[in-house]
A = this chain, B = another copy of it.
């Protein structure tokens, strides 16, 4: 029951790193939505291995195929199944870890849980699963665009290199102009250098992805357990390597006084009720208030290193795990479209849920 996400706009993913295919079934897409396959593919290309010098050099075309739910270019209201074949399944690369537990990977915990595991490339625990999220998220984005909602994520930190400029002072159209997806070109160059240096050492480094959602109408999100930020937080924390989530004022808000933190209401010139500040991050009581929603997501350094590491096998015997294959030295650049996809899925779901709130 853990392979689904969303309640109305709902996805169910399947597939292992080195199985036949990775895919997703998307339910709840309103009938009539135009499905732009080229856009879905373009989103997948943003996530694709080998897209730049600072990501893994694996070669996977990741061409999406629609199996159902679309007729004459439109969603029919039935489940949309999307699939990508696994082409680069070099299983031999992984035989050396069949009996070893790679440090800070899911090898040990999968064995502990299931009593067996598909050890090829991490199996289901591989970040390759996020491909399915990006494909489904692209459909959610098509839906949100129809409702004038815009989701933008960007790299705001790599290692200790942090972008301190608030999103409101950034030109986010610059995000896709460099390989690390940081909208500040100068900082982006430093980040790229850092990632290259780390890779040269066979090491890896963490980072932060920030995101902003504009155009969300007031009223999305549910009281109590399914607060909008709680579901966003779960969505982010479900992405591989994520260690933390904060929205609005976040952890820094802890040190503020209520009189500093409260966002005072006013009526703008169009007659809308707005807030003067936005420490709330666009969400109050778990429900969107019409202001921008923004948050930060912490990613740990990738666990796979191009170095020897001490570990144990399934019997507890000491082994040495050697780094092999082609891996990302920093997950953040490719995480940007994944963050956006998960955001789009959350917002699309809440948008639909919100239609049922009042007596029609």
User: How many copies are assembled?
Assistant: 4
Instruction: Tell whether, in the assembled complex, residue B219 and residue A227 are in contact, meaning their CB atoms are under 8 Å apart.
Output: no
Within 8 A of B (CB), among A99-134: 101, 103-106, 108-110, 112-118, 120, 123-125, 129
**What's the nearest-Cβ distance from chain B to residue A32, in Å?**
4
Name the one of B28, B261, B356 contacting A352, with C-beta atoms under 8 angstroms: B356
- Which residue of chain B has its CB nearest to the CB of A29? B359
Determine the chain B residues whose CB is within 8 A of the CB of A317 once the complex forms.
Answer: 267
CB distance from A54 to the nearest CB of B (A): 15
Chain B residue numbers with a CB within 8 Å of A245 are 233, 237, 244-246
Residues of B within 8 A of A325 (CB): none
Q: Give the segment of A4-12, A39-47, A166-174, A182-190 that binds chain B.
A: A4-12
Instruction: Choose one: B13, B222, B243; the contact of A251 (CB below 8 Å).
Output: B243
A-B contact pairs, 13 of them (CB 8 A): A1-B28, A8-B356, A12-B79, A16-B78, A20-B66, A28-B356, A78-B123, A109-B286, A159-B255, A253-B301, A258-B305, A267-B316, A267-B318
Query: Given known contacts A13-B79, A266-B312, what 7 new A-B pairs fall within 8 Å (CB)?
Result: A15-B79, A112-B219, A198-B257, A205-B258, A206-B253, A224-B238, A259-B309
Top 6 A-B pairs, shortest CB-CB distance:
A106-B285, A2-B222, A244-B246, A204-B258, A267-B316, A109-B287
